[in-house]
Amino acid sequence: MSESALPTLNTWVEIPKNSDFTIYNLPFGVFKNKKLSPRIGVAIGDKIVDLSVLDQEGFFSSLFLPEGIFMNDSLNELIALGKAQTKKIRERVQNLLLEENEELKNHSARGKVMVNRKEAEMLLPVKIGDYTDFYSSIEHATNVGKMFRDPENALLPNWKHLPVGYHGRASSIVVSGTPIHRPKGQFKDPDMEKPAFGPSRRLDFELEMAFITGKQTKLGDTVSTGEAEEYIFGMVLFNDWSARDIQAWEYVPLGPFLGKNFGSSISPWVVTLEALEPFRVEGPIQEPEVLDYLKCEKSHSFDINLEVFIQPEGKKASKVCTSNFKHMYWNIAQQLAHHTVNGCNINVGDMMASGTISGSTENSYGSMLELSWKGSKAVPLEDGEERKFIEDGDTVIMKGFAEKDGIRVGFGEVAGQILPAKN
Ligand code: MN
| DSSP structure string for 298-322 | S--EE--EEEEEEE-TTS--EEEEE
Specify the CATH superfamily of domain 28-123: Fumarylacetoacetase, N-terminal domain (2.30.30.230)
Q: Which helix (H) or strand (E) holds 213?
A: strand 207-213
Residue 215 to residue 299: CA distance in whole angstroms: 21
- Do 28-123 and 131-419 fold alike per CATH? no
Domain limits, the chain:
28-123, 131-419
pLDDT tens per residue, range 77-119: 999 999 999 999 999 999 999 999 999 999 999 999 999 999 9
Query: What secondary structure letter does DSSP report for 384?
Result: G
240 CA distance to ligand 1 middle (Å): 5
Mean pLDDT within 303-320: 98
166 CA distance to ligand 1 middle (Å): 9
Residue 177 Ramachandran class (φ > 0 left, ψ -120 to 50 alpha, else beta):
left
Q: Among residues 145, 209, 157, 160, which one has the least CA distance to residue 353?
A: 209
54 CA distance to ligand 1 middle (Å): 38
Q: How confident is the model at residue 7 (pLDDT cuts 50, 70, 90)?
A: confident
pLDDT over 70 (residue 2): no
Q: What is the structure's pLDDT at 76?
A: 98
Residue 104 to residue 285: CA distance in whole angstroms: 47
2 CA distance to ligand 1 middle (Å): 31
Radius of gyration of the chain (CA): 22
11 CA distance to ligand 1 middle (Å): 38
Q: What is the structure's pLDDT at 4?
A: 59
185 CA distance to ligand 1 middle (Å): 18
69 CA distance to ligand 1 middle (Å): 33
Q: How confident is the model at residue 3 (pLDDT cuts 50, 70, 90)?
A: low
pLDDT tens per residue, range 9-56: 999 999 999 999 999 999 999 999 999 999 999 999 999 999 999 999
Q: What is the structure's pLDDT at 1?
A: 46
- 1 vs 221, more confident: 221
From the list 107, 140, 167, 300, the catalytic residue is 140
Residue 45 Ramachandran class (φ > 0 left, ψ -120 to 50 alpha, else beta):
left
Query: What secondary structure letter does DSSP report for 393?
Result: T
Contact 235, 25 (CB under 8 A): no
Q: What is the structure's pLDDT at 31?
A: 99
Q: How confident is the model at residue 420 (pLDDT cuts 50, 70, 90)?
A: very high
- CATH number for domain 131-419, candidates 3.20.20.70, 3.40.1390.10, 3.10.310.10, 3.90.850.10: 3.90.850.10
Average pLDDT of the chain, as a whole number: 97
pLDDT over 80 (residue 300): yes
Query: What is the CA angle 256-370-294, rounded to 5?
Result: 60
118 CA distance to ligand 1 middle (Å): 30
| Dihedral sign from CA coordinates of 97, 101, 103, 108 | positive
State how beta strands 39-44 and 47-50 pair.
antiparallel
Q: Which helix (H) or strand (E) holds 279?
A: none
Residue 331, exposed/middle/buried by CB under 10 A (0-12, 13-18, 19+)? buried
Q: What is the structure's pLDDT at 125?
A: 98
Give me the phi and psi of 379, to 5 degrees please. Answer: -95, 120
Residue 140 to residue 118: CA distance in whole angstroms: 36
| DSSP structure string for 16-28 | -TT-SB-TTT--E
Above pLDDT 90, what percent of the chain? Answer: 97
User: Is 339 a known active-site residue?
Assistant: no
Q: What is the structure's pLDDT at 6?
A: 75
Q: What is the structure's pLDDT at 134?
A: 98
356 CA distance to ligand 1 middle (Å): 6
pLDDT over 80 (residue 163): yes
